[in-house]
């Protein structure tokens, strides 16, 4: 197994999960196909040989009637005077037999020696027929002609015996080919059984190797996330050899560097703004979110759902990449859409049975920018405090539309909703710039503060809710183009 991994690493196919899966598939396919192709090829060869021997025997057998039935009958008619010698078909029959015999000898089969001897005997038979003609033209008696005809029958019998010996030789060749074919079949059977055991062993080893390759880096990522969440921002994780997890590790390391840099650059003048942004970034890597996501990746890998492992790992990497966005505060609307899709893809792995979502963004906004990390916290609130508390799950709708010079973003769910007392409490807390009580408060408060600070406006998010009907959160901000206007 180690040598095989070294071979694949030499060609760079084990640097990613996709490459490892492809290498395992190629190896399994080779183990299954190569012996099958070899055995089938050998059986086709021996079958062709067997068929050729049978066909050769059939053609040898077809010579017998020419001599045994037709030639001897013509000779008998000539001797008794029913047919004149010069009008008989004896030479045509001998020529036909000679031509067919030459073709059989040219095939160079296992009975070639017997056929060569039969060819000599056929030549002797022709000379005896010619001798009969010479006798009859010389005025021989009937007794002399009968004796010569008997000689022709004796030579013909000898020729037929030679043909029979040729058939016996072909039978021996057919039996040998049959035995070889049986040996190939049994050998192939044992090889296939052995390769089946090797294939099963390789599959188990590959699965364990893949699981080990994923588990160790993910354990390091979980430890890193835990330490970052605890405030140890100088912690870093060593990037693993797997491309997908390497990118995720680099994103986490960069996240920690950005967080550390934001803390160092924090000044009294921008204290509220920087703290809000810092806490928004930290919220993306809470142990709760990362632990669940990484545990889901491990579970998918151990279940051999490799395509979903690649999908979720890529979605998590894209999620962090957009959260960082190169340190920029503003991202494009398409980037915001990808950020939401990555986040919702991860959530659907855990909440597949209860979570559905729709994202609708007007195309004319694709060239516009938005402050990052505004919509995702609202989607998170919609899931954890709306959909999860409703029996049977529900739907989250995200829409971004343009209203003149303004852009309206709406996050609507059909979850549990809030009663009038709770809704009034949340609205009052937002108006006072204090996080509402409960786990749902910080996300709304953070988005509300950042909208007011970055867009320099008095109004942030608005919220409406009805018990059992769901909750709708909106914010209206100026349209910001790619050039900053």
Tell me the longest C-alpha to C-alpha distance in the chain. 146
- Average pLDDT over every residue of 424-438: 74
Indicate whether 15 pLDDT > 70: no
In a domain, 429, yes or no: yes
Residue 211 belongs to some domain of the structure: no
Q: Could you give the residue ranges of the DSSP H alpha helices within 68-111?
A: 72-80, 90-106
Expressed as residue numbers, the domain containing 145 is 28-191
**What is the average pLDDT score of the chain?**
78
pLDDT at 18: 61
Highest mean pLDDT among 1-15, 20-34, 166-180: 166-180
| pLDDT given for residue 282 in this prediction | 47
Q: What is the CATH number of the domain that holds 162?
A: 1.20.120.1730
The pLDDT confidence band at residue 1, using thresholds 50, 70 and 90, is: very low
User: What pLDDT digit, counting tens, does each position of 68-112 carry?
Assistant: 888 888 888 888 888 888 888 888 988 888 888 888 888 877 778
Is the pLDDT at 11 greater than 50, yes or no?
no
Whether 200 is covered by a domain: the verdict is no
pLDDT of 399? 95
Does the residue 247 lie in any domain? no
Name all contacts of 436-445 with Cβ < 8 Å and 24+ positions apart. Answer: 439/384, 439/385, 440/381, 440/384, 440/385, 442/279, 442/283, 443/283, 443/377, 443/378, 443/380, 443/381, 444/377, 444/378, 444/381, 444/473
Q: Which of 461, 448, 368, 465 is nearest to 412 (CA)?
A: 465
The more confident residue out of 286 and 239 is 239
User: Which of the two residues, 252 and 97, has the higher pLDDT score?
Assistant: 97
Confidence category of residue 241, pLDDT binned at 50, 70, 90: low
- Of 157, 191, 225, which residue is a domain's last? 191
**Looking at 3-17, 158-172, 184-198, which range is the least confident one?**
3-17
253: in domain: no
Measured over the CA atoms of residue 376, residue 377, residue 379 and residue 384, the dihedral's sign is positive
Give me the number of domains the chain comprises. 2
Q: Which of 161, 191, 221 lies at the terminal end of a domain, its last residue?
A: 191
Predicted pLDDT of residue 410: 96
* Pair 129, 152: CB distance under 8 Å: yes
Burial class (CB within 10 angstroms; exposed 0-12, middle 13-18, buried 19+) of 326: exposed
Q: pLDDT value at position 19?
A: 62
Which value, in Å, is the radius of gyration of the alpha carbons in the chain? 46
Is residue 88 included in any domain, yes or no? yes
Q: Other C-beta atoms within 10 Å of 221: how many?
A: 24
Span 132-141, pLDDT tens digits = 888 888 888 8
Q: Which of 241-245, 436-440, 464-468 holds the top average pLDDT?
A: 464-468
Question: Looking at the predicted structure, is the pLDDT value of residue 423 above 80?
Answer: yes
Residue 396 placed within a domain: yes
CATH number for position 398: 3.30.565.10
Structure tokens at 173: 């060749």
Strand 330-332 and strand 368-371: the pairing is antiparallel
Residue 38 placed within a domain: yes
Token pair listed for 200:
């099963």
**pLDDT higher than threshold 50 for residue 467:** yes
Label residue 285 by pLDDT band (50, 70, 90): very low
């Amino acid at each position: 197994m180690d040598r095989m991994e070294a071979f694949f690493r030499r060609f760079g196919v084990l640097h990613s999960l996709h490459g490892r899966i492809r290498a395992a598939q190629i190896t399994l396919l080779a183990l299954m196909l190569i012996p099958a192709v070899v055995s089938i090829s050998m059986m086709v060869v021996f079958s062709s040989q067997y068929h050729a021997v049978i066909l050769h025997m059939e053609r040898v057998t077809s010579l017998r009637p020419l001599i045994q039935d037709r030639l001897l009958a013509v000779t008998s008619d000539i001797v008794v005077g029913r047919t004149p010698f010069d009008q008989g078909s004896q030479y045509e029959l001998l020529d036909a037999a000679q031509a067919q015999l030459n073709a059989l000898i040219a095939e160079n089969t296992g009975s070639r020696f017997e056929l060569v001897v039969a060819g000599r005997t056929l030549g002797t038979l022709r000379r005896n027929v010619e001798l009969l003609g010479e006798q009859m033209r010389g005025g021989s008696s009937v007794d002399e002609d009968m004796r010569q005809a008997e000689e022709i029958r004796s030579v013909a019998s000898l020729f037929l015996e030679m043909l029979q010996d040729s058939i016996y030789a072909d039978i021996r060749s057919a039996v040998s080919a049959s035995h070889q074919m049986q040996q190939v079949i049994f050998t192939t059977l044992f090889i296939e059984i052995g390769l089946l055991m090797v294939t099963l062993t390789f599959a188990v080893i590959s699965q364990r190797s893949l699981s080990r390759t994923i588990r160790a880096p993910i354990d390091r990522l979980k430890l890193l996330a835990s330490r970052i969440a605890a405030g140890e921002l100088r912690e870093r994780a060593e990037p693993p050899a797997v491309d997908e997890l390497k990118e995720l590790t680099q994103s986490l390391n960069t996240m920690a560097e950005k967080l550390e840099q934001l803390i160092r650059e924090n000044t009294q003048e921008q204290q509220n703004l920087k703290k809000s942004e810092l806490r928004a970034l930290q919220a993306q890597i809470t142990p709760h979110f990362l632990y669940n996501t990484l545990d889901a990746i491990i579970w998918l890998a151990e279940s051999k759902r490799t395509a979903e492992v690649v999908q979720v790992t890529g979605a998590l990497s894209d999620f962090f990449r957009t959260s960082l966005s190169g340190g920029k505060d503003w991202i494009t609307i398409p980037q915001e859409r990808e950020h939401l899709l990555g986040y919702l893809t991860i959530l659907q792995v855990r909440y597949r049975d209860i979570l559905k979502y729709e994202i609708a963004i007007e195309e004319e906004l694709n060239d516009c920018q938005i402050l990052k990390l505004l919509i995702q916290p609202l989607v998170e609130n919609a899931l954890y405090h709306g959909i999860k508390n409703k029996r049977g799950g529900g739907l989250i709708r995200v829409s971004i539309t343009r209203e003149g010079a303004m852009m309206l973003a709406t996050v609507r769910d059909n979850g549990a909703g809030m009663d009038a007392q709770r809704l009034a409490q949340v609205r009052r807390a937002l108006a006072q710039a204090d996080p509402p009580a409960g786990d749902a408060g910080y996300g709304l408060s953070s988005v509300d503060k950042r909208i007011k600070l970055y867009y320099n406006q008095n109004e942030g998010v608005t919220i409406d809710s009805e018990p059992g009907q769901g909750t709708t959160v909106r914010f209206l901000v100026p349209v910001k183009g790619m050039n900053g206007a």
